[in-house]
Amino acid sequence: MDTLEFVIKPVERVYRQRSNSSSQSRLYVVGGIALIAFAAIGFVVVVLSPRLDPITMQVTTTLPVILGVGAIYAGRMAARTPGEVGVGPDGIRLVYRDRTTHLGWDKIGWSKIETLSQSNRRSLTLFDTDGRTIIRLTDVLDGFDEMAAEIASFLAAKPDKTAVRIRNAKSRRSAAFTIVYSLGFLAVSAAVAVMTRGTIRSEKLLLESGVPGQGQMERRFLAPNGVTPRIEYRVTASDGKTASRNARVTRTYWDELEGATSIPIIYVPSDPSISRLATGEEEERDMLKSPLVGYGLPAILAVMSVVFLIVSVLTLRGWDINLDQKTGRLSMKRLDVQDQ
């Protein structure tokens, strides 16, 4: 029976690109270029329309660039995938338009399925025995999951522990970087929360303790965009404390202030850094004035950072936590256990 199965079973399984993969790759690249062009136009609009809120600015500039770069990268990765991949007992055969390359199992140390950043495309990364990337095979290949599973089974059958060693080293290195980034994000979330508290406190003090006064004009200028009129004035309290503030004003009021040396303001005597113009000031949108945003976003960021910290610490202590893309379930196992 074993002999019969050996005869019937093909020596090599072949996986080929889908017929529409080339057009999809070009579509990703063209779409990415279009998104970057949209971001360039959005940047011009932001410069000419300084009253746009920060969220709109990010949506029209930063976000399209991130998505565009991701789309171009995904398209190029798909275009670089061999037209045919053969997986057999002797290794992996990669067939390109102009050449054929063979990778023996002794040259391959580990394989890992990853999701390309900013796209839904998946790739199978092959690493050599030193942990360096050899090639990435994307899901433009028919039977991508079966191919990945077959390659993993061949690597798991190798008598050495190269795959386990490489996987563990990369997991722990990634965990160390994640811990650093998570601590940084925790610091940022704390800083934003503190800034929000200060902003809300200033608004409250200005409303409850603000008194009329005179500010000394220091600068009357246009913002770097050459459009937005701004002024800078200094406030001096009765106890000698001073503070400067930069404010945006209406164009009409800005014209009226030409040659002025002082300007009417409302300020807090106990803290001259808290003030506003008595008239003519254009309120700038500040998300930190909203407790829901100013405290909510840092809280979400802090929770995510703590989760990443916990996962990273567990990884450093020898545990691997993984989310199954098919079932959506979390799995947890020792890093020093060979994959089956």
pLDDT, mean of each 10-residue run, the chain (340 residues): 48 86 81 90 76 70 86 83 92 92 92 76 89 90 92 86 80 88 93 89 91 94 86 93 93 93 94 93 77 87 92 82 65 59
Q: Is 180 a member of any domain?
A: no
Same domain, 22 and 148: yes
Same domain, 34 and 141: yes
Same domain, 154 and 271: no
Same domain, 32 and 139: yes
Please give the tally of structural domains in the chain.
2
Cα separation, 74 vs 114, in Å, equals: 12
**Confidence at residue 5, expressed as pLDDT on a 0 to 100 scale:** 47
Specify the CATH number for the domain of residue 65: 2.30.29.30
Same domain, 118 and 243: no
Question: Which range of residues forms the domain containing residue 244?
Answer: 209-285
Cα separation, 19 vs 329, in Å, equals: 33
**Confidence at residue 328, expressed as pLDDT on a 0 to 100 scale:** 62
Q: Is 171 a member of any domain?
A: no
* Cα–Cα distances in angstroms (integers) from residue 201 to residues 206, 208, 255, in the given order: 9, 10, 32
Q: Is 191 a member of any domain?
A: no
Same domain, 37 and 105: yes
Q: Is 123 a member of any domain?
A: yes
Same domain, 125 and 245: no
Same domain, 98 and 241: no
Q: Is 193 a member of any domain?
A: no
- Residue in the structure block whose two tokens are 């338009």: 97
**Confidence at residue 24, expressed as pLDDT on a 0 to 100 scale:** 77
Same domain, 151 and 245: no
The sign of the dihedral angle between the CA atoms of 273, 276, 281, 287 is: positive
Same domain, 229 and 145: no
Specify the CATH number for the domain of residue 224: 2.40.50
**Confidence at residue 98, expressed as pLDDT on a 0 to 100 scale:** 86
Same domain, 121 and 233: no
Q: Is 314 a member of any domain?
A: no
Same domain, 6 and 145: yes
- Alpha carbons within 13 angstroms on the beta-carbon side of residue 113 total 18
* Tokens (6 digits) for 44: 């011009």
Q: Is 73 a member of any domain?
A: yes
Q: Which of 78, 81, 151 is nearest to 116 (CA)?
A: 78
Q: Is 176 a member of any domain?
A: no
Q: What is the pTM of this model?
A: 0.60
**Confidence at residue 49, expressed as pLDDT on a 0 to 100 scale:** 67
